[in-house]
Chains A and B, each alone.
Chain A
Amino acid sequence: MISPHLALFDLPPAFDDGMIIGRGTLNGQPVAIAAQEGQFMGGTFAEVSGAKLVGLLRAAATAAGTAQAVSTVFLLLDTGGVRLQEANAGEMAVSETVRAVLEARSAGVPVIALIGGRAGAFGGGGIVTACCSHVIISEQGRISISGPEVIETNKGAEEFDSRDRALVWRVTGGRSRALLGGADSYVKGDVASFRQAAAITRNTLPDFSLATLDAEQKRLEDRLNAYGDCVIRPRYGRAPVLMLPRAYLNSVTTLSSLCLPRRDTPMAPAELLAALFPEGHNVTPGAENTLLGTATVKNETVAVLGITDATPLSPEIAITLAGSVLDIIRAGQKTPIILLIDTASQRMTRRDEMLGLNEYLGHLAKVITLAGARGHRTVALLYGTAAAGAFIATALATQTLIALDGAHPSVMDLPSIARVTKLPLDVLTEKAASTPIFAPGVAPLAATGAVAEVWTAADGPLAPRLATVLATPATKDTRDALGAERGGRKQAHDIASRVEAAFLEATAGEGTI
């Protein structure tokens, strides 16, 4: 199964698109395994490679309790994140993988990430890792969202000198992750050590439940309270940390919004709230450009959360929103949850990555997914920008994503894609006209199945449309089918279904790992 998109960029494909999946036994117990090839296209999430992984995870969930059941799924991730040549399909692959990981965990099948390759687990790979039941890492392994080079490009070498490799590993490396709690097992790094840790840990893993996520919320809040005020000083001198007030941070981290030019001016939050909830609401601005409150739709109370002003998603915002969602779940009313989204990408600072931004974003995605699984209708209304990891952790984690006027979802803007793919911008723009697979914007992402509906003000008032969506029960994750139907992602659904079917037919594997 080779990628149908690489030829567009004059790039050779790989027979397996950089992802090998299969079944095996570990110490006599059947397991499912997915292994990513970090050397092919940087070990990326893309349409084919992602669908193989998603199919495997869905199969593991479906097979639970049957003769084909596996005891564990092992993800041997080695990735720089989303493959930019098929950015939209890759972004969806990450989001669907997150969903499928949590589905498997809900079905009682633990998913264990093994991170020890040269590429590490960056970008969406960092978020997927954070969603697993358990993370095993070696000293050479790395987990992060924005890579050091990306942060350096955006913020300068004073923020993060990507050539200082000892520094890179101090921030993202296995030892730091294990010490801070971003990884659960720390191994020497050879195959035997990974195998041993995998065999030992799989029996004692947390299930995917409210209790587990409550504990996670507390763990991540405690970490922010303990270390959140540490600002990593520019690299002069040897002292690694310097205490600075949090306000300072907020003043220096607005650059990622510059990278994502808006196409239209989004509606002001107050205006949007009035249009959505004519029956009334008590939604008020919270800290750091968040929104929180309730509103009434057809006499029913709905919970409303939001991010405004294209604010980059920080650990603080993620943990605040996640805490609110957990409160709503704990209240037990199955209240629908509406997310109003105008964020940038994840915030790009060395401090945030050091603190484990991938865990905060992963946690937010997990609680939103848990809410959906526990009977809350979850709907995201994208009225501004959302990019990269922030998009995955917020809007793409809900059951239904609706794009409004002013919405500009993206994985990466075209100039940046041009830089990475070394293609002239005009060539890239021309290619974008022929395929929705990589270009930013509502239409391409709708074509790939990410966006369920696009609402423009010209088509009439928003409130009745929202009421209709809330009244429609959510199905399981069918975004790949939608992408196939709309022609933006022709293969993902088919591949995932075939993998699932093949897995469920297969007799217990005879191979061992």
Chain B
Amino acid sequence: MGMWTKQATERTRRLNAAAPLTDGKIVAKDNVTALLERIICSEDRVCLEGDNQKQADFLASCLTEVDPGLIHDLHIVQSGLVLSEHLDLFRLGIARKLDFSYSGPQSAAIARALDQGKIELGAIHTYIELFARYYIDLTPNVALIAAVCADREGNLYTGPNTEDTPTIVEATAYKSGIVVAQVNKIVDRVPRVDIPADQIDFIVEAPRPFYVEPLFTRDPGAVTDTQVFMAMMALKGIYAEYRPKRLNHGIGFSTAAIELLLPTYGEELGLRGDVATHWALNPHPTLIPAIESGWVQQIHCFGSEVGMDAYMSARPDVYFTGKDGTLRSNRLLCQNAGLYACDMFIGSTLQIDLAGNSSTVTPDRIAGFGGAPNMGSDAHGRRHTSDAWLKAGREAAGAEGPLVRGRKLVVQMVETFGDGMKPAFVEELDSIALARKLNMPLAPVMIFGDDVTHIVTEEGIANLLLCRSSDDIEQAIRGVAGYTPVGMARDHAKVAALRARGIIRRPEDLGIDPLQANRNLLAARSIRDLVTWSDGLYAPPSKFRNW
């Protein structure tokens, strides 16, 4: 009767309709918009591959050109909404509903579109959470993806920026969906097969290579003395205390400063080999000096980074590489590694409230979550132990024993004032006002306070594991909130008591010499220094060069 094969039948119908436009799997670039009009139907769930790095930008612009009378009310399910074309889909009425993870440069435009009712928002997810829903209730009907090259059969080489592609294709191809890949080049033979041809329906050679954003490059030249100071505190007050071997770093300047201090201050503290040996991390150029100094044993990557390819290919002992010699990244697996296999996450945020909840949402910007909530949360399903994990758990419980489970160290590193003297510590997160305005049942929170173990500011470290009441937590946070209104409103006696209990530790308590807090302590002080450390293998993008 075909009652159980409706999806396969529909897929066949669409492929037949598209056949006159193609030469086997190959589609000419000028035919792509027409092709999309035949393989996509209104109200389809569509994944237009785009994350925080690589973008199927050519397919995105073709999709904006379809006739909205023919195709409308699409449900976009994709991790990154970062191109202006992505927003155009909603503006033109081609798409209506959205489930996503990260928006970055479009965060202001999304907030406006939501406010104007142009977007019907499903939810803002973490990466791993959205990927999970691809297999439960958000399975794409059509996936439009990007790869470096394809052979004529449709085998894809996604190369160093493999990222989300295998996850998207698996969900689509094995559920009777249709997969279209834009490739930079069609070749006779791909360097390695990242996606096998039988999961790919169409390939098109795009007029330009797909766009990749250098998102993880931090210029050591822009690291401030204050960030060095905070990095010293983190190394001495957290790394040296808990000795986490497996970890993830955020992408801010304060964690870049830590990376650049490992070979200098970290070495001085005698931590090499004992700390920070295994990483779930994008290829941060600022980690090069630590890698070259023998700190790092292995790194698995969510994605790649512009300019790092040759360096990583030359360091296969450290990075995951294919038989062709280039990096293999995988966002789903790396997020999973960050959630379950890391002892520590350390990163920065925009706002922290008195319970330690943090958010990057401001009233007019919705940046999404990306992966931080996975990295920055305790995995309750974790069952293996490590010294760092157990120590954190015991501090939290105030007890030891066979039933006291560990805790992931979740460290928030913030300067008390952000850009434009905006205080990082607030009585109420801006995201709560936003949730009210947009009628969201749950305010977008990056990391909930109950997952946070430490807060590091230029004033000191607050250890929330040792807090025993919400009042302890509030005063511990106020006690490191500096001269923000939240910090000025501290109860000085209570803060002094927390300091006596070791919950708040000042730089002088840690024995840190402020005169050492100087850019000269950085293992590399410029992008050029990173190139030198890499033996000339790191090729930074032009905007970061000063030579």
Contacts and interface: CB of A to CB of B under 8 A. Distances in A.
Give the interface size class of chain A: 10 to 19
Contact of A140 (B528, B542, B543, B544): B528
Interface string B521-547: 000001010000000000000111111
A165 B528 contact: no
A169 B543 contact: no
Contacts of A163: 543
A118 B545 CA distance: 12
A173 interface: yes
A174 B544 CA distance: 17
B410 to A, nearest CB: 36
B16 to A, nearest CB: 42
Interface string A9-50: 000000000000000000000000000000000000000000
A117 to B, nearest CB: 11
A165 B546 CA distance: 6
A164 B543 CA distance: 6
Contacts of A174: 547
Contacts of B542: 164-167
Contacts of B546: 118, 140, 165, 169
Nearest to B547: A139
A502 B372 CA distance: 61
B544 A165 contact: yes
Contacts of B526: 140
Interface string B110-140: 0000000000000000000000000000000
A99 interface: no
Nearest to A164: B542
Nearest to A140: B546
A134 interface: no
A139 B546 CA distance: 8
Nearest to A163: B543
Interface string A111-141: 0000000100000000000000000000110
Contacts of A52: none
A167 B544 CA distance: 11
Contacts of B528: 139-140, 189
A366 interface: no
A165 B528 CA distance: 13
Interface in A162-215: 163-167, 169, 173-175, 189
A174 B547 CA distance: 7
B220 to A, nearest CB: 13
B543 A173 contact: no
Contacts of A140: 526, 528, 546-547
B209 to A, nearest CB: 14
Contacts of B545: 165-166, 169
A118 B528 CA distance: 13
Contacts of B221: 118
A165 B543 CA distance: 5
A5 B528 CA distance: 38
Nearest to B544: A165
A167 B546 CA distance: 10
A189 B544 CA distance: 18
A189 B524 CA distance: 13
A137 to B, nearest CB: 11
A118 B526 CA distance: 11
Nearest to B543: A165
B155 to A, nearest CB: 31
A118 B546 CA distance: 9
Interface in B441-485: none
A202 B544 CA distance: 34
Interface in A356-402: none
Contacts of A173: 547
Residue from A118, A140, A163, A173 having most chain B Cβ neighbours under 10 A: A140
A189 B525 CA distance: 12
Nearest to A188: B532
A182 to B, nearest CB: 16
* Residue of B221, B526, B542, B544 contacting most chain A CB atoms (<10 Å): B542
A140 B525 CA distance: 12
Interface string B506-533: 0000000000000000000010100000
B218 to A, nearest CB: 16
Contacts of B547: 139-140, 169, 173-175
A246 B543 CA distance: 32
Interface in A36-76: none
Interface in A311-348: none
Nearest to A189: B528
Contacts of A164: 542-543
Contacts of B544: 165
B263 to A, nearest CB: 17
Interface string B314-329: 0000000000000000
Contacts of A169: 545-547
Listed residue (B526, B544, B546) with the most chain A CB atoms within 10 angstroms of its CB? B546
A174 B545 CA distance: 13
A118 B542 CA distance: 17
Interface in B197-225: 221
Contacts of A175: 547
Contacts of A189: 528
A139 B529 CA distance: 12
**Most chain B CB inside 10 Å of its own CB: which residue of A118, A165, A173, A174:** A165
A166 B545 CA distance: 6
Nearest to A176: B547
Interface string A486-510: 0000000000000000000000000
Closest 9 CB pairs of A and B: A166-B542, A139-B547, A165-B545, A166-B545, A169-B547, A140-B546, A164-B542, A165-B542, A165-B543
17 contacts: A118-B546, A139-B528, A139-B547, A140-B528, A140-B547, A164-B543, A165-B542, A165-B543, A165-B545, A165-B546, A166-B542, A169-B545, A169-B546, A169-B547, A173-B547, A174-B547, A189-B528
Given A140-B526, A174-B547, 19 more contacts: A118-B221, A118-B546, A139-B528, A139-B547, A140-B528, A140-B546, A140-B547, A163-B543, A164-B543, A165-B543, A165-B545, A165-B546, A166-B542, A167-B542, A169-B545, A169-B546, A173-B547, A175-B547, A189-B528
